[in-house]
A and B are shown apart, each in its own frame.
Chain A
């Protein structure tokens, strides 16, 4: 292959890698080129090896890389089939959107909806679509104060549509397309394949993982919990060794007649952090219970002395139940939650729970405490809870909030804005999120 042609193909390949979030620098492009020139292009497996070792620098990026490689070096027929499929999908999306525009009109005037809302409408079950269309027809023919309604009634109809579509957006979860599918065949094929591979666990919402996949996922959670534990429990501060400890130096050197042969330094140490975990088991979080319990299990079996609380409308200390020696995950679930079940699954009151934490478990909060809150932040008495959170923040080293609610929906929950000044809040509803949080974790404490 000619050098310029090789360059062009390589750059195209790298563009596909970048689409998957793999950042490739110029130096790495040069390394890949030099590597290919050195090893040659005759052996496909070796070419893959060269590209992988020079362009991919993390094990998490491997599934995307492997799929890009498979697709990029596939036969021209397969590539043109993928291209055709992607175009068909894109066309059907466009067609669906055009139909939606035509259907959702009030007295001939198009309803004012966002593209996301239109996409939600497209994904609705047929009977629900019919129901909405009928409602629209009836509204057009409606009568107000004895006079047929006119255009001025349109905002009322739109408001009703916004509410209904928002409800359905939440109900349908993340499983439907809210953006137009790409027209690029290779990319669509890579995305499809990656979703089916290991990454599937990483990017899938934890509430949607079926029971049969949990053993594999729990292994990953355990691996991530281990990283989190080792990150936060680092005790020595990096940097130059501490300042000279004169008192000890003089004492040590008395034996040399006062000549300072041996120096003693003060080691800078962080106090050993104490983990306190507060997990939300209220109604809105029920779907994440499995994840929360796996996370508790992962952390408590790795870090000694961790204090664990669960809350909904009240706080319950489950530390003593867990401490009695962890047997198995199922064993932990049985011992930790038996007798508590009726208290959970209902409304959330973080304010009451934090108040109880301060009053009844004040010993848990100290400058050594790293407090983890696992919750979607949807709570009663948000303002009061924010006051308690502020009070808590003053007492502990750091508060890390793992929020299962998608970040784009945070703006809809008022209390989140109130809580954020007092904690580091991260979106955490997939394992990939948990992994990203760990990347940032050196800044935690």
Chain B
């Protein structure tokens, strides 16, 4: 999907769509490069740093459909590529049409395209998001290589389906499993770190313009401290930071205080172990002291 715009224009387009990037995070540069080189983009990073959001924002910038394949353990070709509509074929046979031929049963009418095939068959530009590829097994990855290498797939009963418009492919990984070198070689790679305090403040301000500057900074700073200092099982995601900020906004808060941190902490830390760890090793008073720079 070659773009007819400069890198600068591309960065601005992303900002217009509400996706905040910084020069240092290289998100815009890598996405631009992937589009111009017509390569899949592999995004790695801890959960909750906005990997999936990149795909959503890019589909808007490219004015393309977003087709999403959510990966999970045990995902196979039938769920990812296509399946025959067996029930419909049976009904057609039951109708006992006199001149029914076998080929009639294996046409597009009887095909149930799954996300990968949808991406290949799409007439419109599309962004194909293969989310959490590390959750699938190595065999599925090998199959994916074949599809992404040629952008075509052979359906035995129908023949080869070639991509009408090459979709812009985004793969995300949380690093649960090391991906194969072959797959990585074919992609342009981006590692997304948790956002800096400044970037998270910008994100909060763009989502909730009515959020007071002071509160936005305190929220972003407190979350950043939680992410960096504590060995949490699950670090708070950007979405959770936004939920927290929104909750405080709804409650009419302009400044963080320990009682409110205690009352709303379960919006950020969602397991018993993480909550216990927080109270054992830090506590609301200390968190706020550091967030406010006291």
Partner of A58, one of B29, B94, B184: B184
Let me know if B138 is at the binding interface, CB within 8 A.
yes
* Chain A residue at smallest Cβ distance from B74: A236
Instruction: Decide if B29 touches A238 in the complex (CB within 8 Å).
Output: no
Q: Which residues of A contact B281 (CB under 8 A)?
A: 328
Partner of B44, one of A50, A59, A442: A59
Instruction: Decide if A38 touches B36 in the complex (CB within 8 Å).
Output: yes
Stretch at the interface among A28-36, A111-119, A121-129: A28-36
Partner of B176, one of A230, A236, A238: A230
Let me know if A52 is at the binding interface, CB within 8 A.
yes
Let me know if A56 is at the binding interface, CB within 8 A.
yes
Q: Which residues of B contact A145 (CB under 8 A)?
A: none
Instruction: Decide if A45 touches B37 in the complex (CB within 8 Å).
Output: no
Instruction: Decide if B29 touches A46 in the complex (CB within 8 Å).
Output: yes
Instruction: Decide if B175 touches A31 in the complex (CB within 8 Å).
Output: no
Q: A53-B33, A54-B188, A57-B184 are in contact. Are A238 and B140 (CB under 8 A)?
A: yes
Interface size on B, residues (CB 8 A): 47
CA distance A68 to B26 in the complex (A): 18
* Chain A residue at smallest Cβ distance from B86: A263
For chain A, residues 16 to 66, give those with C-beta under 8 angstroms from any C-beta of chain B: 23, 25, 27-28, 31, 34-35, 38-39, 45-46, 49-50, 52-54, 56-59, 62
B5 to chain A, nearest CB (A): 13
Instruction: Decide if B33 touches A35 in the complex (CB within 8 Å).
Output: yes
Instruction: Decide if A57 touches B90 in the complex (CB within 8 Å).
Output: no
CA distance A219 to B175 in the complex (A): 15
* Chain A residue at smallest Cβ distance from B139: A238
Interface size on A, residues (CB 8 A): 52
Instruction: Decide if A49 touches B186 in the complex (CB within 8 Å).
Output: no
A47 to chain B, nearest CB (A): 10
Let me know if A301 is at the binding interface, CB within 8 A.
yes
For chain A, residues 295 to 337, give those with C-beta under 8 angstroms from any C-beta of chain B: 301-302, 326-328
For chain A, residues 183 to 210, give those with C-beta under 8 angstroms from any C-beta of chain B: none
Instruction: Decide if A261 touches B87 in the complex (CB within 8 Å).
Output: yes
Partner of B185, one of A27, A240, A261: A27
Instruction: Decide if A25 touches B90 in the complex (CB within 8 Å).
Output: no
Q: Which residues of B contact A38 (CB under 8 A)?
A: 33, 36-37
* Chain B residue at smallest Cβ distance from A222: B231
Q: Which residues of A contact B276 (CB under 8 A)?
A: 327
A435 to chain B, nearest CB (A): 8
Instruction: Decide if B189 touches A238 in the complex (CB within 8 Å).
Output: no
Q: A53-B26, A263-B86 are in contact. Are A301 and B190 (CB under 8 A)?
A: no
Instruction: Decide if B73 touches A28 in the complex (CB within 8 Å).
Output: no
- Can you list 22 A-B contacts with CB-CB less than 8 angstroms, sorted by A residue number? A27-B185, A27-B186, A39-B29, A49-B26, A49-B29, A50-B29, A53-B30, A53-B33, A53-B188, A54-B188, A57-B42, A57-B187, A57-B189, A59-B175, A62-B191, A219-B231, A230-B176, A238-B140, A262-B87, A328-B280, A438-B178, A439-B178
- The chain A residues found within 8 Å of chain B, CB to CB, are 23, 25, 27-28, 31, 34-35, 38-39, 45-46, 49-50, 52-54, 56-59, 62, 215, 218-219, 222, 226-227, 230-231, 234-241, 259-263, 267, 301-302, 326-328, 438-439, 441-442
Query: Closest 9 interchain pairs by CB?
Result: A236-B74, A238-B137, A57-B184, A439-B178, A238-B139, A53-B30, A49-B29, A49-B26, A57-B189
Contacts A38-B36, A50-B29, A261-B90 supplied; 14 other A-B pairs, CB < 8 Å = A35-B33, A53-B26, A54-B188, A57-B185, A58-B189, A226-B176, A238-B136, A238-B138, A240-B78, A241-B76, A241-B78, A327-B276, A327-B280, A328-B281
